[in-house]
Amino acid sequence: MNESNSQPLEGATVGVFLAPEGTEEIEFTESRDAVADAGATVDVLGSEPGEGRTVNDDLEESESYAVDETFDEVAADDYDALIVPGGTVGADTLRTDEDGVELLEAHLADGKPAGVICHGPWTLLEADAVEGRTLTSYHSLESDLRNAGGEWVDEEVVTDDGLVTSRNPDDLEAFCETIVEEFAARSD
């Protein structure tokens, strides 16, 4: 196969975070599918083995998805990129998971890219990965991110040194396109 026909993330491994309950389904599935469709091998990463139940619009229970690996079973070296979807309850749960936070912190410290959307930046706060960065999120996190030393902007998608952030599900098209581009550029 000639190189121009290869998929941009062929050979890359991407971990997608999934809380036991409360991850926003569309943010999880669309970002997961975008990187998989671009050729990446995708692992769903969670706090517990089994499945995580997603939600729609934060309140309606939705589908369950299998967790491939738990945070304590993997290391930052295992992944070329990470994705942290939102969902208020899911993101709040993920930011209290010490192993998940440590994985994200080590991953970013190694200069590897990540995509984080909606309430997902709460996990960035816990990973001490906000100070000095320009990023966006769901609007209610603006003060949290500014107080942690970040420059919060109200834009559809923001990229800062490999970190891609977006505000909410309305931004998913731009978010998914940008994570594929950024992950591909950084996995060369």
Active site residues: 118-119
| Cα–Cα distance for residue pair 25/48, rounded to 1 Å | 18
| Cα–Cα distance for residue pair 80/15, rounded to 1 Å | 8
User: Which residue, among 46, 51, 58, has the nearest Cα to 22 in the 3D structure?
Assistant: 58
Place of tokens 């970013």: 108
Which strand (E) or helix (H) includes residue 98?
helix 98-109
Give the bridge partners for 13, in sequence order. Answer: 41
